[in-house]
Chain A
């Protein structure tokens, strides 16, 4: 076990990763409210996996053409392309011939299999990939934090500018369409923000915490029935608490970082569950 004094002393090591965890926790917690209310939790799981697949694909290409230096921005860009295309296909422009669960499940399982296959062919980057998938969040570069902050600012701007359109078209698309609103466009805007947010957050925290943060903080906030707008703020706060608290606890208790964050996010959802149970 590490003491709090030792942890504070190692500030230079953890300040950037902790800041990245806080930004990612807030962003994913906020977006998670739409993910949960629109019943697209497994879309976010599939997108996280597609983002990892993009990363694996880039690492494979880098190894094959003997690129020795790491190209984090290029890796992130490819992961974003995979995630955004997945977000548009699975969320906004989903083929109606198949049930949603079937296309989302297929995307998740195929992406997962390809990640395993791709990882098996990696020579040097296989170890790093494990950390990226399950989340150790200990080695986030300043550039990655900057990228995450830019994405968070963009998503916040979009959700602030178009809050009422995104809420209306998500809550009651049939009426919105009948009143002349371009529902597919607003769906695309919403899922684009989710698709863009996942890769830099997954790069910083790992795929497992990203999926958890898109689900648990929002579920915890919504269970408390604080209202629609306050639910976004509360979910973001839960995300920040789970990410930062999980990060610190994993240092102090020498636990896997991503799993500690997820466990704390689950603990934060418990008051909501108890409150709902008490209310019957």
Chain B
């Protein structure tokens, strides 16, 4: 078994010393694609930011066996669009922690930014104002910023929030392409299970309201009992043309299903 890049062991996560969720065991290894799913306000972002060390642990352990290069993509709405920064200037910020104080970004940093923007298909937007880009283009800019650091772990918080279906699909396809079976580990938070069911290899269900944290392989987590634990009702998973569709069933469908059993 490959050693994890980063892990939480028996962690209690929360704010100001107060736990909102206990017993969190989660690890991300090289090449993993983990999706953290749960309702809005269920504690997904708290788990993610605690794992990254941005929120102090309330209890348990955070393991990072060696220094790790991280790329982080926040929720798009959290990034202020009144700042008169170009897409390239935003992407360059991904290099700042690596450059360190006193030094200015050099040619290598600008080249890494150019490559990252090319990788997500927005090289031509480099000089455009970030605030004037479309939602999908802003998302790609934030992903380019994360990639500019050549991360081993790419962490994303609700990357498809507020997108139309086409932009959502394009963003998820881009993540699959970036993952590409290589060593880049991806961990993303989403409140829409269907959004990630066709991409992630591992799922974690989080809901502080039910004190629920459960993690497993995709197949394991898409079983009716696991889905029932998260949603508190029957949820069906259908496969068509190689794509999974996840949807809650009505009371009538639920009764029919039980009758069939």
Contact of A164 among B49, B70, B86, B99 (CB under 8 A): B99
Q: How far is the CB of B172 from chain A (nearest CB, A)?
A: 21
Once the chains bind, are B104 and A164 in contact (CB under 8 Å)? yes
Q: How far is the CB of B108 from chain A (nearest CB, A)?
A: 15
Contact code string B188-201 (vs A, CB < 8 Å = 1, else 0): 00000000000000
Interface residue? A174 (CB, 8 A): yes
Chain A residue nearest to B109 in the complex (CB): A164
Q: How far is the CB of A230 from chain B (nearest CB, A)?
A: 9
Once the chains bind, are A225 and B85 in contact (CB under 8 Å)? no
Residue among B49, B80, B145, B155 with most chain A CB within 10 A: B80
Chain A residue nearest to B157 in the complex (CB): A174
Once the chains bind, are B74 and A175 in contact (CB under 8 Å)? yes
Q: How far is the CB of B85 from chain A (nearest CB, A)?
A: 5
Contact code string B124-140 (vs A, CB < 8 Å = 1, else 0): 00000100000000000
In the assembly, what is the distance between CA of A161 and CA of B104, in Å? 9
Interface residue? B181 (CB, 8 A): no
Once the chains bind, are A168 and B93 in contact (CB under 8 Å)? yes
In the assembly, what is the distance between CA of A131 and CA of B147, in Å? 55
Contact of A225 among B78, B97, B129 (CB under 8 A): B129
Within 128-150 of A, Cβ neighbours of B (below 8 Å) are at none
Within 154-169 of B, Cβ neighbours of A (below 8 Å) are at 155
Contact code string B51-73 (vs A, CB < 8 Å = 1, else 0): 01110000000000000001011
Contact of A171 among B52, B80, B99 (CB under 8 A): B80
Once the chains bind, are B70 and A161 in contact (CB under 8 Å)? no
Once the chains bind, are A228 and B85 in contact (CB under 8 Å)? yes
CB-CB < 8 A to B94: which residues of A?
A: 179
In the assembly, what is the distance between CA of A167 and CA of B86, in Å? 13
Contact code string A219-262 (vs B, CB < 8 Å = 1, else 0): 00010011110010000000000000000000000000000000
Interface residue? B96 (CB, 8 A): yes
In the assembly, what is the distance between CA of A225 and CA of B86, in Å? 11
CB-CB < 8 A to A171: which residues of B?
A: 79-80, 83, 85, 90, 93
CB-CB < 8 A to A222: which residues of B?
A: 82, 84
Interface residue? A180 (CB, 8 A): yes
Tell me how many residues of A have a C-beta within 8 Å of chain B: 23
CB-CB < 8 A to B123: which residues of A?
A: none
Interface residue? B89 (CB, 8 A): yes
Interface residue? A177 (CB, 8 A): yes
Q: How far is the CB of B197 from chain A (nearest CB, A)?
A: 26
In the assembly, what is the distance between CA of A176 and CA of B145, in Å? 12
Interface residue? A181 (CB, 8 A): yes
Q: How far is the CB of A235 from chain B (nearest CB, A)?
A: 11
In the assembly, what is the distance between CA of A82 and CA of B97, in Å? 33
Q: How far is the CB of A32 from chain B (nearest CB, A)?
A: 14
Interface residue? A93 (CB, 8 A): no
CB-CB < 8 A to A178: which residues of B?
A: 49, 52-54, 70, 72, 74, 155
Once the chains bind, are A181 and B97 in contact (CB under 8 Å)? yes
CB-CB < 8 A to A162: which residues of B?
A: 101
CB-CB < 8 A to A165: which residues of B?
A: 96, 101
Once the chains bind, are A168 and B54 in contact (CB under 8 Å)? no
CB-CB < 8 A to A226: which residues of B?
A: 84
Contact of B83 among A164, A179, A180, A228 (CB under 8 A): A228
Interface residue? A172 (CB, 8 A): yes
In the assembly, what is the distance between CA of A178 and CA of B78, in Å? 14
Within 178-223 of A, Cβ neighbours of B (below 8 Å) are at 178-181, 222
Interface residue? B105 (CB, 8 A): yes
CB-CB < 8 A to B82: which residues of A?
A: 37, 222
Once the chains bind, are B83 and A37 in contact (CB under 8 Å)? yes
Once the chains bind, are A227 and B84 in contact (CB under 8 Å)? yes
CB-CB < 8 A to A164: which residues of B?
A: 93, 96, 99, 104-105
Instruction: Using known A-B contacts A161-B102, A171-B93, determine if residue A180 contacts B53 with beta carbons closer than 8 Å.
Output: yes
In the assembly, what is the distance between CA of A177 and CA of B73, in Å? 12
CB-CB < 8 A to B155: which residues of A?
A: 178
CB-CB < 8 A to A181: which residues of B?
A: 96-97
In the assembly, what is the distance between CA of A82 and CA of B132, in Å? 40
Once the chains bind, are A231 and B102 in contact (CB under 8 Å)? no
CB-CB < 8 A to B97: which residues of A?
A: 176, 179-181
Q: How far is the CB of A258 from chain B (nearest CB, A)?
A: 28
CB-CB < 8 A to A168: which residues of B?
A: 93, 96
CB-CB < 8 A to B89: which residues of A?
A: 228
| Chain A residues with a Cβ under 8 A of chain B | 37, 161-162, 164-165, 167-168, 171-172, 174-181, 222, 225-228, 231
30 A–B pairs (Cβ distance < 8 Å), ordered by A: A37-B82, A37-B83, A164-B93, A165-B96, A168-B93, A171-B79, A171-B80, A171-B83, A172-B74, A172-B80, A174-B54, A174-B78, A176-B96, A176-B97, A178-B49, A178-B54, A178-B70, A178-B72, A179-B70, A179-B94, A179-B96, A179-B97, A179-B149, A180-B70, A180-B97, A181-B97, A222-B84, A227-B86, A228-B84, A228-B86
